[in-house]
Structure 1
Amino acid sequence: MPTPRNNKKSAGAPKRSTFWSILRWTVGACAAGAASGVLLCVFVFAYIYQQLPPIDALTDYRPKVPLRVWSADGKLIGEFGEERRDFVKIADVPQHVKDAILSAEDDGFYEHPGIEVTGILRAAVINVLTGRRGQGGSTITMQVARNFFLTTQRTYTRKLYEIAMSFKIEHELTKDQILEIYMNQIYLGQRAYGFASAARTYFGRPLDQISVGEAATIAGLPVAPSAYNPIVNPTRATMRRNYVLRRMYDLGRIDELTYQTEKSLPMQVRKAVEPDAPVNTNASADTVTAHYAAELARMLMYDIFGSETYTRGLNVYTTIRTEEQRAAVESVRRHLIAYDHRYGYRGPEGRVDLGAAADRPKVIRAALEHRTSSPFMLPAVVLEASPKKIVAAISPTETVELDEESLRFARRHLAAKPARGIEPIVPGSIIRVMHPLSGKNVDKIWTLGQVPRVETAFVAADFNTGAVHALVGGFDFNLNMFNHVTQAWRQPGSSFKPFIYSAALERGFTPATVINDAPISIDPKLTGGKLWEPKNYEGRFDGPMPLYRALELSKNLVSIRIMQAITPAYAQQYIERFGFAAKNHPANLPMALGAGSVTPWQMLGGYMVFANGGYRVQPYLIDRVTDATGATLMQATNRQAGDPSIRAVDERNAFVMNSLLHRVAVNGTARRATALLKRDDIAGKTGTSNDSQDAWFCGYAGNTVAVGWMGYDQPKPLGSRETGGGLVLPIWVDYMRTALKDVPETTRVQPESVVERDGLYFYRDPVGGVDDASALSVDQAARDLVRDQIF
C-alpha cells in the first residue's frame, strides 16, 4: 500500500500542472491581445492614413503674403493684408536663426521620422497624471500638419491624425522643405506670420541682420505668442529668450561667451510697433508718412487683381521720393496748423469724469482709446487746468505739462468764468497736444493743438516724365481718408486763367495786346437770368493794360473780356488739350475766372504742358509691380515730353505762356516764390475762387511741377483776406526748397517760331484773330474791341 508521503506528492502534481496551464493561458491571451491590439492599431492607422487629404497645400506652398507699397528709394510706405508675412527661402535663413528654432522647438528634427516617440510618451504620461491635455509632444512636422490640415482642439483622435499626417508629410517632402514651410507659416504675434516678418515687426530689420539673442526671442514665440510677446510682456519674453539661449548652449550651438553676452542684454524691440497697430502701417518710426499714396496704389491694384491683392505678395514700387514726400507732409502740416491757430482755439473735444484717483488709469485709457490718434497730434486727458498751468495725460502712465504758448492760445477757455459759448478746459477735458512747429528742443516741449477743420491737397511730379514725387491728400489720413488730390472737385479760381490766355494766343492775342480793366455788366441772358457785375479781387480797376500785366495782377475783368472775344465755346473746346473735360466747365463767361470744377491731379497735368514745352504728359504713381518671387508683373511705360503723339499745344504757345507765368512769379501775385527761392526759372499762378472758398497755387521750377490747394470739405470762405498767394504759396515754397536742392535752373531754348521784342515774346507768324473767317461767332461789341486792341 502506498505510504502517506507518496500520497502527498501525488496530490501536489495536479496543482502545479494547473498553475502552469493558467500561466500559459494568460501569457497566450496577453500575446493574442497584444497582437490584436497591434493589428487594431495598424488597421486604425492605415484607415486614418487612407483618409488623409492630399498635401498639395504644402507641395505647392503659396503663403498669404500681403500687398506692400514702396517708395522709389525702397522705403515701405504701406502694407495691406490679413497677415504680415515675408517669405524667405531656407537657403537664405542664417544658421543661428535655424539653430535657435531647432533648439526651442525640435532639436532632433533632422533625425526623427516626423514624430518623436519619447516626446509623445512623456506628454501622455504627464497628461494622465495631471488629468489635463496640456502636453502635446509635437515636432515641427506635427506643427506643420496641425497648422495646415487640422484643428487646434486637443483630442486623442486629432493627435492620431496629426501623427499620421506627419508621416505623410515626411514621406513627400524633404526636411528643408518642411522647415521652410514652418518658418514662413507659423504665427508669432503682432499679426506677424513667419520668422522674417517677425524680425521686421519686432526689431525693424531683415532676418539676416538680427542677433543671436533676437533670434532666440522670436524662436521662443511659437509656444505662446501672446504670453512671450516682447512688446506686451518684455519680462516674460526675456525669460523665454534666456531659456532658448540656454538650450542652444547645452546643445553646442553657441559658445559660453555668446550665451552670457546675449543673456545679459536688455530686451530692445522696435518702438514703432504698437500692440493694436493697424494692418496698414509704416515700417518704422522714421518712415515717411505717405498713407494717401499707399491707399491710392492699393485701390489701383485691387481694380486689377481683386481679392488676390492682399494674399499674392504683390510689391508695388511707386515713384514717391522719401525726402520730398516728408518735406511736403511737414510743409502742409505746418501751414495748416498756422492758419487754424490764427482763428483761435475752439475748445476741448469732449470730457470724461476722472472719478477716484485709483480709477483714473482705467478712465484715461478708455478715453484715449475712443479718440483717433494722429502722428501729428495726440489725444490727451486734462488732469490740471488753470490760467497758469495745464497738465494732461497722454497715456495712463505718462503726463505732460504744456508750454506758455498753450496758455495764451487757450486763455478764453481757462478763465475763471468763461464767456457764453466758450467751453472751459477743466480736469477731464479731452484735448490734443503736439510738439511745437519750430524752436529749440521741440521734441521735449508739448503745446496745445487742435485738428484743423480746413483741408488741403498737395502733389508734385517731374513734368517731363509724369512721375509723382510727393502726394499729400489731406492733413492726416488717420483723421480723414478722403484723398483731396484725386477726389476733391473744386473751383480753380484764377489758377485756371493761364489756360484761357493760352487759348487767346491761338486766337490772335499777344502779350502786348492792350485790354481795358474797367467795370462791366453782363447781360442776364448770358448768365442764366441774373445780372452779373464781376469785380477784381482788390476791388479797383486800373484801366487799359497789356495782357502780360493783366495776368501778373490776375485781373478778372481783363480775363472776362478775353473770354468774350475768343468765345466760351472755343475756350471750352481748347481746354480739353490740357486734360480738362468740357462737361466740367460750362461754356459761359465765368469759366474765365475758374468757375468750373477740377481736381488737383488734373491741374498738375495741365501745368505740365506749360512746363515741358507743350506735351500732355500723364502724371503717374506706380512704376512697377512684382509678385512674391520678384517677377515683374507690370511696368510703367508712360509717354514722356518730346513724344510728338502727346503734343497738346505747339512749342511757341508753350514758350510764350511759360514767359508769362514766369513774369507772374517775378512781378506778379507769385513774386514771393522767386524772392524766397532766389531762382530765375520759377513760373506759376495763384488762384482764389469766389468768396475765397478755394485757395490754389500751381507752379514749376527745375524739373518739378507742384500744385497745392486749401479749402473746407463743405465749401465756405477761408477768410475775407485769404488768398492762394497767402495760404498755399508758402506750402509750395517750403516743399520746393527740398525738391530743388542741388537741382540746376532750367533754361528753355527760344523756338525759331518765336521772336523777342522789348522783353516780350511773340509768334513769328501771327495767327488769325477773332475776325478771321474761321473764327467762331462773337458779338459785334467784342469784334470792335479786338479791332481797336483796347478793351
Structure 2
Amino acid sequence: MKRWILISTLGVAVLLCLGAAAVWAGALYLGRDLPPVDSIRQLQLSVPLRVLSQDGKLIGQFGAERRSLLRYDDIPPNVIHAFLAAEDDRFFEHPGVDWQGLVRASFVLAVSGEKSQGGSTITMQLARNVFLSNERTFTRKFKEILLALRIEHELSKKEILELYLNKIFLGERAYGVGAASRVYFGKDIHQLSLGEIAVIAGLPKAPSRDNPVANPQRAKERRDYVLSRMHSLGEISDTEYQAARAEPVVVHPYQAKLDVDAQYVAEMARAWAVEHYGDDAYTRGLTVITTLDSGRQLAANAALRRALLDYDERHGWRGPEAQLPLRMLSDQGHDELAQALDARPPVADLRAAVVVSFAADRLQLITEDGPMNLDKDAFSWANLTRKPLQPGDVVRIRPVGARWRLAEIPAVQGAFVALRPDDGAIQALVGGFDFYANKFNRVTQARRQSGSGFKPFLYAAGLAQGLTPASVFLDAPVVVDDPSADNAWRPENFEGDLKGPMSLREALVHSRNLVSIRLLQAIGIDYTRQYVPRFGLPGDRLPDNLTMALGTAVFTPLEMARGYATIANGGFVIDPYLVSEVRDADGQVLYKAAPKHACPDCPDTAPQQSPGDSATAAGADATTDDSVAPRTIEPQVDWLISDMMHDVATRGTGAKTNELHRNDLAGKTGTTNDETDAWFNGFQKTQVAIAWVGFDQPAPLGPGEVGARAALPIWIDYMRAALKGVPEERLPRPDGLVDVRIDPRTGKLAPADAPDAVFEVVQQDHIPEAEAADAHNDPNKANLEDLY
C-alpha cells in the first residue's frame, strides 16, 4: 500500500515538474518576442490630423488631442477610485495577475460559457493595449500574463496606473483620461463631476459601443454600475452616490478652436486622409491643405443660412421648439434652467432662449447669458398674435447686426458649392444648414432632379447637331401618348401660357418647357443621351424619354458644378477636387495634387466629333498632354450656349443677378414639379457656383418658391463677396462664328429693310437661309410646318 502511495506521489511530482518545465519553456519561448518593459515609458504623443484652407486657416482637427501626459499625483483621486472600482479593485494587492480572478472567470466560462468581470487586471490591459493585439487566443493571453508580470517587476504600482490612465483607449479617438474629459465634456479633468468621471471609467470594457456620443443610454448604465461599485467599496458616500446617479449624461464634445466654419469640408478631407493613409492619419500629425478659400467659405455659409432663414420666415411660425416646466423660471430652478439651455447647443448661429412673458409689442426671454427683451420688429414676421407664446416655451434667436431676432431652425435644407472652372478646385462648400445638426452632405450625397438647370446641356446638344440660337420652335401644346398610362402626357410651361414661334435663345432665356420638349424630339433622345455626358455628367441617369427635356435626371450639386464648369471654361471636362497637399509632422510633402486644367490656347485640343462612342462618354480628346483636361465641346457650341446663358442672367429668369452690376455673369434657374427643388446654376469665367434648396424628403417648397426666389439669392450673396475686386471677363469669342440679322418669327435671314430684325450670332457653317420676301411681308404665309 505504502509502495503505491509512494509511486503515486512520485508520479504527481513528475507531472508537476513536467508541467512547470513546460510552462517555463513556453515562457522562455514566448518571452523572446516580448518587447522590453522600459519601452513602455516612451509613450508617443499622438498628433492630430489637421485640415487647413488654402490660405492656412484651420477648418478641422481630428484624432487624439496633443497633450502633456498626466502625472499620477495630478490625477484626481476619484478618477483613480472609479477606474479601480470598475476594472481592478485588487490592483494594489496582486502581482500583476489576479490569480483568484482568473480562476473565477475560467470557472464561470467553463460552466456558463459567459465571461465575467475579473479576468484581466489593469496591468494586463496595459500590456495588451501597448504591445499586443486584441486577438482572442490562448497564446496572446499567455503573452499578456508574462508581460504583466514583467511590468510589475520593473515598474511601481503608481507608474503602472499612471501609464494606464494616460494610454487606455476610451472611444471617439480619445486615448487617456485627460483626452476623454475634453472629448466628451469639454473640460479639464479636474473640472469633471463625479458622474462624469464614472462615465469615463465605464468605457474601457467597450469604448466604441458604450461612450455617451454613440449610445447615451448604455453610457448611463455603465456609469451607474461604476458608481455602485465605488459605493460598495466605500469610496463615496450615500449622498455622493445618489447625487451622481441623478446627474443627466450631457455630452459637450471638445472642438478645437477653428478659424473657419467648414465642417462639411473638414469631414470630406478627413475621409480622404483615412482612405489614403488608414487610421494612422489620426495620430501621425498629418496636415491636409485643401483648395478652400476661407473668405469665400464664410460668404457661402452666410449666404445659404440667410436664404434658408428668409424662406422659413416667408412660410410662417411653426411653434416653439419645446416647453419647459414653469418651476425652472423661478429662482430655485435657476440651475435646472441653465442645464436645460446647456443641453440645446447653438445650431448654426441660432441660440436657444426660454420665454418669460409675451405681449404684442414685447417678448421677454432668458438666454444662457441672462435676460433679453425683443421689440415687436424682431418677431412681427411670426404673427404671434394668432398663436401667442407661453412662459416656458423654448425658442431660438439669431443675431442680425447688433440686434437679436426671433428665429427657428429651418425645416428646409440647402446646399452650395463653388469651384474654379479651369481646374475644378473647390473654393467653398456648404452641405446643409448646420453640420452638427445634420451631417448629411447634400453637395456630394443628395441626388435631386435638376429641373430647368438641365436645359443648357440639351440646347448645347441641339447646337452641336446644326441648330443655331436663331432656330425657331413652336411654343405650343405637346401631347405624348403613353401606352403604359391611362392618359396622354400633356406637359405645360411653368406659367401656363403659350408664345407661339420663338428662337432657341428666347426659349432658354424664358425657360419654355414646351420648346425644350420639341427640341428633344427634333434632335432625338438617343443622340441627346449620348451627347450630354460630354459635360462630365453621368449618362446612366439620363431618362430614356421626353421628360429628360424638363430635367427629370437626378444629379448632385457637385455633379452640376462639374457640368457647368465645362461650359464656363470653354468646353473642357475637369475633375472637382478638394485636397491640394498633404504634409507630415515634419513638414515634408507626402502628396501634391496635379489636377488637369482647361487650356483653350493649347494645341491639339480638338474635341471628339461623333457623340456616343466610349471615348466621348469618357471625355477623351486628341491632346497628349496629361496636364490638360479633355476638351469635349466644340468652342463655337460652348461659346454660344454660354452667351445664351448670359442673356438668362441679364434679362431672363435669372435677371436678379443684375444687382451685382456686372456684365460677365451667366446662369440658369431650375425648378422641378410642384416647386420641389429650387436651383440656380451659374458662373463667371473664374468661378462656378451652384445653389440648391429643398426638403431632404422631397416635398413642395410652396407656391412661388422657384429657383429665382429660393436659390438665386444664395448665389448672388456669394458672388457679391467672391467677385469683389475680380475684373469683368467673359470667354473670348472663338473663330467660326458670325453675326447675322434674323427675322425673330422665322429664324431666317431678314431682308435689309426688315424693321423688326434682330442681330444673332450663329455658326459660320450653319448660317440660316434667307427668307422669302412675301413671307416677311405677310407673316401668315410663313411656313410654320418647317418649325420644329
Q: State the TM-score, normalized to the length of structure 2.
A: 0.66
1:655 aligned onto 2:639: yes
Residues 702 and 163 of structure 1, relative CA distance in 2, 3 Å threshold: farther
Equivalent pairs counted in the alignment come to 586
Could you say which residue in structure 1 is the equivalent of 2:373? 401
Task: State the alpha-carbon separation in 1 of the partners of residues 580 and 546 from structure 2.
Answer: 41
* Percent of pairs with identical residues: 40
Q: What is the CA deviation profile of residues 621-672 of structure 1, one whole-angstrom value per residue up to 9, with x for unaligned ones?
A: 1112223233333221111112744112121211111111112112211122
Residues 298 and 50 of structure 1, relative CA distance in 2, 3 Å threshold: closer
Paired residue secondary structure (1:371)? coil
Could you say which residue in structure 2 is the equivalent of 1:85? 66
Could you say which residue in structure 1 is the equivalent of 2:391? 427
Task: Please state how far the C-alpha of 1:53 moved relative to its aligned partner.
Answer: 5.4
Task: State the alpha-carbon separation in 2 of the partners of residues 658 and 788 from structure 1.
Answer: 29
Task: State the alpha-carbon separation in 2 of the partners of residues 407 and 731 from structure 1.
Answer: 23
Could you say which residue in structure 1 is the equivalent of 2:469? 511
Residues 723 and 697 of structure 1, relative CA distance in 2, 3 Å threshold: same
Could you say which residue in structure 2 is the equivalent of 1:542? 499
Larger deviation, residues 556-565 vs 290-299? 290-299
Task: Please state how far the C-alpha of 1:529 moved relative to its aligned partner.
Answer: 5.2
The amino acid of 2:547's aligned partner reads P
- Give 1:49-64 correspondences, 5 Å limit: 54=36, 57=39, 62-64=44-46
Q: What is the CA deviation profile of residues 121-143 of structure 1, one whole-angstrom value per residue up to 9, with x for unaligned ones?
A: xxxxxxxxxxxx99xxxxxxxxx
Task: State the alpha-carbon separation in 2 of the partners of residues 744 and 787 from structure 1.
Answer: 45
Could you say which residue in structure 2 is the equivalent of 1:257? none
Could you say which residue in structure 1 is the equivalent of 2:654? 670
- Give 1:297-308 correspondences, 5 Å limit: 297-308=269-280
Could you say which residue in structure 2 is the equivalent of 1:596? 553
CA contact (8 A) 2:452 2:550 kept: yes
- Give 1:229-628 correspondences, 5 Å limit: 277-279=252-254, 281-284=255-258, 287-355=259-327, 357-395=330-368, 398-412=370-384, 415=385, 422=387, 424-436=388-400, 439=401, 442=402, 445-525=403-483, 530-628=487-585
Paired residue secondary structure (2:548)? helix
CA contact (8 A) 2:447 2:556 kept: yes
Task: State the alpha-carbon separation in 2 of the partners of residues 640 and 50 from structure 1.
Answer: 57
Q: What is the CA deviation profile of residues 131-176 of structure 1, one whole-angstrom value per residue up to 9, with x for unaligned ones?
A: xx99xxxxxxxxxx9998799xxxxxx999689459xx9xxxxxxx
Task: State the alpha-carbon separation in 2 of the partners of residues 530 and 636 from structure 1.
Answer: 54
Task: State the alpha-carbon separation in 2 of the partners of residues 742 and 192 from structure 1.
Answer: 45
Task: State the alpha-carbon separation in 2 of the partners of residues 384 and 159 from structure 1.
Answer: 67
Q: What is the CA deviation profile of residues 433-488 of structure 1, one whole-angstrom value per residue up to 9, with x for unaligned ones?
A: 1212xx5xx2xx32211011111010000100110000011111122211111111
In the alignment, structure 2 segments of 5+ residues that lack a partner are 1-30, 75-90, 93-122, 130-147, 194-249, 606-620, 622-629, 742-758, 770-781
Task: State the alpha-carbon separation in 2 of the partners of residues 587 and 602 from structure 1.
Answer: 20
Task: Please state how far the C-alpha of 1:750 moved relative to its aligned partner.
Answer: 2.0
Residues 691 and 282 of structure 1, relative CA distance in 2, 3 Å threshold: farther
Paired residue secondary structure (1:532)? coil
Task: State the alpha-carbon separation in 2 of the partners of residues 632 and 666 from structure 1.
Answer: 45
- Give 1:108-119 correspondences, 5 Å limit: none
Could you say which residue in structure 1 is the equivalent of 2:787? 790
Task: Please state how far the C-alpha of 1:301 moved relative to its aligned partner.
Answer: 2.6
CA contact (8 A) 1:77 1:282 kept: no
Could you say which residue in structure 1 is the equivalent of 2:105? none
Paired residue secondary structure (1:633)? strand
Residues 554 and 227 of structure 1, relative CA distance in 2, 3 Å threshold: closer
The amino acid of 1:654's aligned partner reads D
Could you say which residue in structure 2 is the equivalent of 1:72? 54
Higher Cα radius of gyration: 1
Residues 786 and 621 of structure 1, relative CA distance in 2, 3 Å threshold: farther
Task: Please state how far the C-alpha of 1:399 moved relative to its aligned partner.
Answer: 2.4
Residues 56 and 307 of structure 1, relative CA distance in 2, 3 Å threshold: farther
Could you say which residue in structure 2 is the equivalent of 1:781? none
The amino acid of 2:738's aligned partner reads V
CA contact (8 A) 1:345 1:410 kept: yes
Paired residue secondary structure (1:539)? coil
State the superposition RMSD in angstroms: 4.6
Q: What is the CA deviation profile of residues 562-612 of structure 1, one whole-angstrom value per residue up to 9, with x for unaligned ones?
A: 000111121112111122223322111110010111110100000001100
Task: State the alpha-carbon separation in 2 of the partners of residues 150 and 533 from structure 1.
Answer: 71
The amino acid of 1:648's aligned partner reads T
Residues 388 and 659 of structure 1, relative CA distance in 2, 3 Å threshold: closer
Task: State the alpha-carbon separation in 2 of the partners of residues 428 and 305 from structure 1.
Answer: 50
Task: State the alpha-carbon separation in 2 of the partners of residues 55 and 639 from structure 1.
Answer: 52
CA contact (8 A) 2:37 2:150 kept: no
Could you say which residue in structure 2 is the equivalent of 1:761? 761
Task: State the alpha-carbon separation in 1 of the partners of residues 667 and 67 from structure 2.
Answer: 45
Task: State the alpha-carbon separation in 1 of the partners of residues 561 and 678 from structure 2.
Answer: 15
Task: State the alpha-carbon separation in 1 of the partners of residues 552 and 293 from structure 2.
Answer: 34
Paired residue secondary structure (1:736)? helix
Task: Please state how far the C-alpha of 1:541 moved relative to its aligned partner.
Answer: 0.6
The amino acid of 1:479's aligned partner reads A
1:740 aligned onto 2:699: no
CA contact (8 A) 2:361 2:375 kept: no
The amino acid of 2:257's aligned partner reads A
In the alignment, structure 1 segments of 5+ residues that lack a partner are 1-48, 89-100, 106-132, 135-144, 152-157, 170-180, 202-217, 229-274, 770-784
Q: What is the CA deviation profile of residues 236-261 of structure 1, one whole-angstrom value per residue up to 9, with x for unaligned ones?
A: xxxxxxxxxxxxxxxxxxxxxxxxxx
CA contact (8 A) 1:373 1:478 kept: no
Residues 678 and 51 of structure 1, relative CA distance in 2, 3 Å threshold: closer
Task: Please state how far the C-alpha of 1:294 moved relative to its aligned partner.
Answer: 1.0
Could you say which residue in structure 1 is the equivalent of 2:747? none
Task: Please state how far the C-alpha of 1:554 moved relative to its aligned partner.
Answer: 0.6
CA contact (8 A) 1:392 1:400 kept: yes
Larger deviation, residues 451-460 vs 583-592? 583-592
CA contact (8 A) 2:421 2:685 kept: no
